[in-house]
Amino acid sequence: MTDVRRYVLLSKIDSLDLKILQEYLEDARLSSREVARRINTSTATVLSRLRKLEEGGIIKGYSVVLNHEKLGYAITVITEVVVSKGQLLEMEKEIAKLPNTLAVYDVTGDTDAIIISKFKTMEELSAFTKKLLALPYVERTNTHVALTSIKEDFRLEP
């Protein structure tokens, strides 16, 4: 483990780190100089903190938030999956590789996993569901089609 990674893991994230993270959550395109100006610190400080946050695994990457509906992905689906014979992790890894899969979660309760996915057409959804059911050890699925998206934003404020 690098010294920087150890530092980030062992130390608490302070208010300056939180301010930097918040700025990048709002706009990942901001330059370090602009973030420094907005939070009233030096560019070198922002760069140093970013490097530590990246190496410590706090920042995993930088991304853009897409409007999936405008790209044609108007169908959002939540699928419950029941897996047999203790093969959950193997099945989740296979499901995560399928096109249209946005998230795969281990869950408690009557099902073993929850999958969040998006589709352009019902035909795509049908093909996806059939692929799931064809996977070895998948016992059954229960598919929910979201009627309305009230909130969909996985950017959690630190």
- Domains defined along the chain, listed by start: 3-55 (1.10.10.10), 69-145 (3.30.70.920)
Grouping H, G, I as helix, E, B as strand and the rest as coil, residue 141 is strand
Separation of first and last alpha carbons in the chain: 24
More confident residue, 12 or 145: 145
Residue 129's pLDDT band, with cuts at 50, 70 and 90, is: very high
More confident residue, 8 or 84: 84
The DSSP output letter for 135 is S
Task: Identify whether the C-beta of residue 123 lies closer than 8 Å to the C-beta of residue 50.
Answer: no
Grouping H, G, I as helix, E, B as strand and the rest as coil, residue 97 is helix
Residue 9's pLDDT band, with cuts at 50, 70 and 90, is: low
**pLDDT recorded at residue 64:** 87
- Average pLDDT, whole number, for the chain? 91
Per the structure block, which two tokens stand in for 135?
């996977």
| Mean pLDDT of all residues in 76-81 | 98
- Residue 158 pLDDT exceeds 80: no
Q: How far apart are CA 120 and CA 74, in angstroms?
A: 6
